[in-house]
Amino acid sequence: MTGRRRTSTALVWVVLSLIAATGIAITGGATPAVRAGTNTQPVRHVVILSVDGARADATRQVLPAALLSRAAYSWTAQTTLPSSTLPAHTSMLTGVPPSVHGVRSNPDNPRGTIQIPTVFSVLTQHGGRAAVFVTKRKLLFLVRPGTVARAEYLPYPRYGMREAVQQATRYLVQHEPRLLFIHVADPDAQGHSSGWMSEPYMTAIRQVPEVVSAILDVLTRMGRADDSLVIVTADHGGRGRRHGGNTPEAVTIPWLAFGAVVPGPIQEKIVTYDTAATVIAALGLPIPGAWQGRPVVRVVEKVR
């Protein structure tokens, strides 16, 4: 999974440049494609909602058809090994697998901060502004000083999914960061206490459509619904009361994108470190050459 060969970053950007210059549509199977004659350009905002512990099958059960009809989506995306919070989020936000970033354990209080490029540092280096709202303190490890305008720890369970998203979107409205990362812990907490796919776990998962709709509504009120990208995904799933291994229930995660997309199923394989490359491509920035993630190309093609 983590060792699969990646498409050359240079080749991806040649393709993206040709699409932007010519407006040619890419088609193939049921994968979303840009309509002929449309333009590709950077989006104004990217929001990443990471739903800690969300299994793909559970998320699929609770997502209403009307909301899914607005998304480009995959129910077969894969996380990295170990399938745990800190290693997986590190891959999600650095564009590389654990074999490169070296984060293989999942401590509650990691020492220091990440030293390799992240989506936050790449954006900041190019003059953009990022913000981070997380409900597990350990994820602040991914925020190197000077790489975000705002980093806030919202302790769970004081800040459940609804409250965390409310805090983050309030900041989005007031300060309009180019990139907003939101982490919510509810499903993971219920998975560990009651079991993945238990009723308490599913109760937590049932909040996902509500908070996704809330984010989309905020962007609509800002007049940015059509030139923003909202990615909804997870760090891992789980089985029983555990995760971390390579079972399908632990490594298969949801991956959905709303906003500047053509809706429909994504047929290509997605690994969690593709999220980082997709974010940077959507913002119109160069992807670091060392990254192994590749953009989910048809997601970052802006439709006017």
Asked whether the predicted pLDDT for residue 145 surpasses 80, the reply is: yes
Q: Amino acid identity, residue 194?
A: S
Identify the structural domains of the chain with CATH numbers, from first to last. Answer: 9-282 (3.40.720.10)
The two three-digit tokens of residue 248, written as one number: 């399908």
* pLDDT at 24 (0 to 100): 29
Query: For residues 118 and 121, what is the distance between their CA atoms, to the nearest angstrom?
Result: 5
Q: Minimum mean pLDDT among 14-28, 75-89, 130-144, 260-274: which range?
A: 14-28
Stretch among 6-20, 135-149, 238-252 having the lowest mean pLDDT = 6-20
φ, ψ dihedrals at 22, nearest 5°: -105, -20
Cα–Cα distance, 147 to 124 (Å, whole number): 6
Residue among 226, 248, 235 at smallest CA distance from 182: 235
Task: Summarize pLDDT for 27-74 with one digit per residue, the tens.
Answer: 333 443 222 223 468 999 999 999 999 999 999 999 999 999 999 999
Q: What is the pTM of this model?
A: 0.87
154 vs 172: CA distance, rounded Å? 16
For 90, residues 6+ apart whose C-beta sits below 8 A from its C-beta are: 98, 101, 103, 114, 141, 142
Average pLDDT, the chain: 88
Cβ neighbours around 287 below 10 Å, total: 23
Asked, as a colleague might, if the bond just before 157 is cis with ω within 30 of 0, I would say yes
